[in-house]
Amino acid sequence: MKTIGFIINPVAGIGGRVGLKGSDGENIQTLARKKGAIPEAPLRGETALRVLKESAPEGSFRLLVGARTMGETAAQSVGMKAKTVGSISSDHTKAEDTIAIAKSMVKCGAELLMFAGGDGTARNIYEAVGTSIPVIGIPAGVKIHSAVYAINPTNAGKAAASFCREENLRCKECEVMDIDEDAFRAGRVAARLYGYLNVPEFGSYFQSMKSGGYSEKSELAGIAHEIVESMEQNVVYIIGPGTTPKAILDDLQLPSTLLGMDAVKNGVLIGSDLEENELYHLIQRENCRIVITVIGGQGHIFGRGNQQLSPRIIRNLGMANITIIATKKKLFDLAASSLIVDTGDVKLDQELSGFARVITGYHDSMMFPIRA
């Protein structure tokens, strides 16, 4: 019987929907709550646990969970018996809580550690356990550059179930990356390698490390010109984050939020760095279309860096009103050879799966597969 540790960082990702580009630090978490943000990490953790429960052979593992919102509540929600490890003084947890519980789980005999969070959480886990035991990250943060995360919570649960069946487990060391959130909010991406964590070699379940934003200028200019030329009067175009969408605003000679959501109507910037709630109300009163790009190296079009595009927004607009843009190099360099959706809504992810047209240049496009 295997022993699995399970930890949720309950504040991970709280800043995503409200456009704060991260959740690290008490001040940011407080601001997110004032903006009405709802923590999503607990639900994503529950999804992974539910899949583990349904997929693993009966009696093949015992579960250790963090106290209260750090795992205990999720286990109770899905009807799993578990031993609670550690304690917390408040549900507004800190990095020290994650580190302490992870260390305690290793002492209690954990052979695998599952954790729900973002890059900041991965750093905490690295500080606590290093490469002493294998880990599986459940993506739940705003920043997910690290390669230790599964593609989505469902895949995290499946990977853990595979661990329960595996006798001769092979692991590989994967990068723990994080960025300077203050620089991120100022529109600069400065990623840094903090170390490595051991991850089971179940390749199809895991994402790759995010690659940089290099693209050929001529391709970007062609993509931007194609989008601008096709813009219709009185239609609001919501431009997503990234260097590829930024080229559209550059073409229009408008200021841009490199890492946020901007809105353009009739060649005029009508909204900058918009939050989920602002976007939702915008699409209720205007004829809107969204332009998004692909996360380099990973392939995500939803659920990484654009959490402001919530399931309700995607459902309201439909894929017919969402345009995907990317250079051919970015598409050909994808480790998964497909686009990936991880909206947080499993049913929606399944509905979005199939094929989509990707604008790759001026009067140039490709059909590319989408999977959850």
pLDDT, tens only, 178-226: 776 565 555 565 567 889 999 999 868 887 665 555 446 778 999 999 9
State how many domains the chain has.
Answer: 2
Looking at the structure, tell me whether residues 257 and 163 fall in a common domain.
no
Structure confidence at residue 29 (pLDDT): 55
What is the residue range of 225's domain?
Answer: 217-371
Q: Quick one: three-class SS letters along 81-134?
A: CCEEECCCCCCCCCHHHHHHHHHHHHHCCCCEEEEEECHHHHHHHHHHHCCCCE
Looking at the structure, tell me whether residues 47 and 170 fall in a common domain.
yes
Structure confidence at residue 252 (pLDDT): 97
- In the predicted model, residues of the chain with pLDDT beneath 70 are 15-37, 143, 180-191, 203, 208-216
Q: What residues does 175 pair with on adjacent strands? A: 196
Looking at the structure, tell me whether residues 330 and 239 fall in a common domain.
yes
Could you tell me the two tokens for 41? Answer: 């990490």
Structure confidence at residue 215 (pLDDT): 45
Query: Which helix (H) or strand (E) segment is 47 a member of?
Result: helix 41-55
**Do the strands 262-265 and 268-271 form a parallel or antiparallel pair, or are they unpaired?**
antiparallel
Looking at the structure, tell me whether residues 42 and 182 fall in a common domain.
yes
Residue 296 identity? G
Cα→Cα distances 38→92, 112, 210, 360, Å:
13, 29, 26, 36
- Neighbouring CB atoms inside 10 A of 168's CB total 4
CATH, residue 17: 3.40.50.10330
Structure confidence at residue 217 (pLDDT): 75
Structure confidence at residue 33 (pLDDT): 59
Structure confidence at residue 262 (pLDDT): 98
Looking at the structure, tell me whether residues 176 and 311 fall in a common domain.
no
Choose the final residue of a domain: 179, 205, 231: 205
Which residue, 302, 286, 151, 301, is CA-closest to 271?
A: 286
Looking at the structure, tell me whether residues 12 and 135 fall in a common domain.
yes
pTM (global) more than 0.85: no
Structure confidence at residue 6 (pLDDT): 99
Structure confidence at residue 258 (pLDDT): 85
Structure confidence at residue 25 (pLDDT): 53
Residue-wise pLDDT tens digits, 31-71:
655 666 677 899 999 999 999 999 999 999 999 999 999 99
